[in-house]
Structure 1
């Protein structure tokens, strides 16, 4: 074993592929149906809005907290397994709970347990992907496992739609919980590739010290801002694209196909196009491509609802999301100390999530006042991010 860095023996890709498949299938079977599920349990529109808002607030807190605990205890796999298992068990309570107060409490506990899972998994997978095998080559491409997750999400959603039609909405809760519990056991098939020489002695890093250490890294701060601008720019699309299409006479079936184009492009970039772009051009160029794609995508959506044009720009989601995500993972791997990997992932997710939440709130006002021209605001955010990507070229730790 290399003293500076653990080498990967065997085929770690299979374990991570299974983990991401189970996790994202669990998300896919339930995510599209949660609003309808709570509506059938007696939640009004106002109460559902409160539930979703509180869930977002809980996730923004629990993600960084769990990441910091995982790094502090040097137990990223264990914390991930506990979060997945807890989320699965708590989710089962939603199927039988009575009363709005109890449903709200269980839902918030579920959100708190589920929030850290993706960032902890990414901390493990991105580091394991870059760890050298015995032949000196990197273990695998992170994009392959993340692409598996996106594909599993689609399959889970399609499968859940059939099950709901046959059995009812409560079935998605059981599927969701079962997949999460299975994923909790799969966690122990993957490894945590922290270099031995960089494993800190317990107690030498204070809980808050990890956050302050990361914020002092210039390229990390720049990445947070770029991700917040580009990922946050999706807010109006996610909230109002289908509404705009419907007003233009584009029916649900066609809208669903347009949405599917974006997800298919995401999978393609994760598996095929993204890894070589990041490897050959570097993460800074990849982030710049994502910003340019965002400017083009939102400008076209502001100007037209022509079906052929929409079909051309929807696949740009593969660049505005997937390529940026791959670039972000590479920069995090290069710039964040290994002993703070989970904390770094959590703060990265927090920056993107908080920006998206704030811009989603603003989206309603912008769309009500400017209608389709609101997409120009999102285009401007990507344009603002473009020069900032230049500062991502240096992924040093100072």
Structure 2
């Protein structure tokens, strides 16, 4: 009996280690390409308007493909297999960028967008099946954020020597490594059984008031980041903050995210619960954007950049906890892809459009609108305990 227990503990440790490596390769792949993709496309003959069109079209494809592939993974009870296949296909299509030029890149980019759309939600599904402990998931997801930072820095250095083609090459290799790791996890990560309600995944989620409510809260908090993501560096540079310091401020935000994933977030969730954690994330966002609307004083920026750990990482941990509590495991990949699409992706896309209009007409005062949007999520989150 003792030997059996020791073997089980060893299997759990091995599975957690492989999950950590999987997240490191997945988010490392994102870090190797996403910051440098526009510049790579420019070297392959695309002009600014063509790059904008390609990136916008790719976003639309992701919004459509993510939930559909997540639903198929649930329907067939094969989340790890879909994740491994998606990573392998993403590797091939990312490497195909190296052979593309001009208009050919649009077809490659759209196919690559469809393949990569469900990767993060499917990886979350595997991680949540492997462990329901928020601290364990936090360590796994924190490793992904840390890998994103590391590969972004490393890829920037390599690109400086070998050119922008190094980005797709590194990304493709990391996706392939992720596929191999996922195959090693496939035996114990998610029960290989189809969903009993194979045709009702989206309808069941849409009918769940609790699910709808926390996805709306997430959309408001994450959407409010849009103006910062698009214009923060421009605002900072206009006030005399150079690229090096701006990069450090951005890195500080990601480091705060890692800290919350690894340590603070699971403790807060255990103490105050996911609904209050969502409300705290919304309040932190309102404070962050209100300060940004008033000043670009460097010490103030240092303080509010640290709030990113609450406005993103804590929110994400809270939403995943709510998905575990609300959604049966057979619909979890569907739920995570819907959450990722509408709570994160679509909200950001729509708020980016509003942010451009606001910045064009009122400048940094537009951050007051972002503060109000984030604050509006507080009553949404606080109403969650009333819905059962």
User: What TM bracket, shorter-length normalisation?
Assistant: over 0.9
State whether structure 2 residue 287 is matched by structure 1 residue 296: yes
What's the counterpart of residue 183 of structure 1?
178
Partner Cα distance (1:147, 1:282) in 2: 20
In the TM superposition, structure 1's runs of 4+ consecutive aligned residues that sit over 6 Å from their partners are none
What's the counterpart of residue 307 of structure 2?
316
For residue 176 of structure 1, report the CA deviation from its aligned partner. Answer: 0.6
Q: Deviations over 1:186-228 (max 9, x none)?
A: 01232555569xx556xx5344x11000111111000110011
What secondary structure does 2:34 align onto?
helix
What's the counterpart of residue 3 of structure 1?
none
Contact 1:146/1:270 (<8 A) preserved: yes
Q: Deviations over 1:111-132 (max 9, x none)?
A: 11011100000111123221xx
The structure 1 residue matched to 2:317, chosen from 315, 326, 337, is 326
Contact 1:287/1:389 (<8 A) preserved: yes
What secondary structure does 1:169 align onto?
coil
Partner Cα distance (2:301, 2:224) in 1: 17
What's the counterpart of residue 114 of structure 2?
112
What's the counterpart of residue 151 of structure 1?
146
State whether structure 2 residue 12 is matched by structure 1 residue 10: yes
What's the counterpart of residue 57 of structure 1?
60
TM-score normalised by length of structure 2? 0.94
Partner Cα distance (2:237, 2:387) in 1: 44
Contact 1:150/1:266 (<8 A) preserved: yes
Contact 1:301/1:375 (<8 A) preserved: yes
Cα 1:17–1:194 shift into 2, 3 Å: closer
What's the counterpart of residue 252 of structure 1?
243
CA RMSD in angstroms comes to: 1.6
For residue 391 of structure 1, report the CA deviation from its aligned partner. Answer: 2.3
Q: Deviations over 1:292-328 (max 9, x none)?
A: 1001000000000100100110010000000000000
State whether structure 2 residue 217 is matched by structure 1 residue 238: no
Counting matched residue pairs gives 377
Cα 1:359–1:169 shift into 2, 3 Å: same
Query: Structure 2 matches for 1:153-302, cutoff 5 A?
Result: 153-190=148-185, 193-194=189-190, 199-200=193-194, 204-207=196-199, 209-302=200-293
For residue 172 of structure 1, report the CA deviation from its aligned partner. Answer: 1.3
State whether structure 2 residue 382 is matched by structure 1 residue 382: no
The structure 2 residue matched to 1:355, chosen from 333, 347, 350, is 347
What secondary structure does 1:250 align onto?
coil
Cα 1:140–1:228 shift into 2, 3 Å: closer
Partner Cα distance (1:64, 1:139) in 2: 24
For residue 42 of structure 1, report the CA deviation from its aligned partner. Answer: 1.2
Partner Cα distance (1:339, 1:395) in 2: 22
Q: For structure 1, list consecutive stretches of 5 or more residues without a partner in the other structure.
A: 1-6, 131-137
What's the counterpart of residue 5 of structure 2?
none
Partner Cα distance (1:377, 1:147) in 2: 30
Partner Cα distance (2:45, 2:354) in 1: 28
What's the counterpart of residue 69 of structure 1?
72
Contact 1:231/1:320 (<8 A) preserved: yes
Contact 1:59/1:111 (<8 A) preserved: yes
Q: For structure 2, list consecutive stretches of 5 or more residues without a partner in the other structure.
A: 1-7
Partner Cα distance (2:168, 2:348) in 1: 26
Contact 2:145/2:254 (<8 A) preserved: yes
Contact 2:66/2:118 (<8 A) preserved: yes
For residue 140 of structure 1, report the CA deviation from its aligned partner. Answer: 5.6
Partner Cα distance (2:23, 2:111) in 1: 22
For residue 66 of structure 1, report the CA deviation from its aligned partner. Answer: 0.6
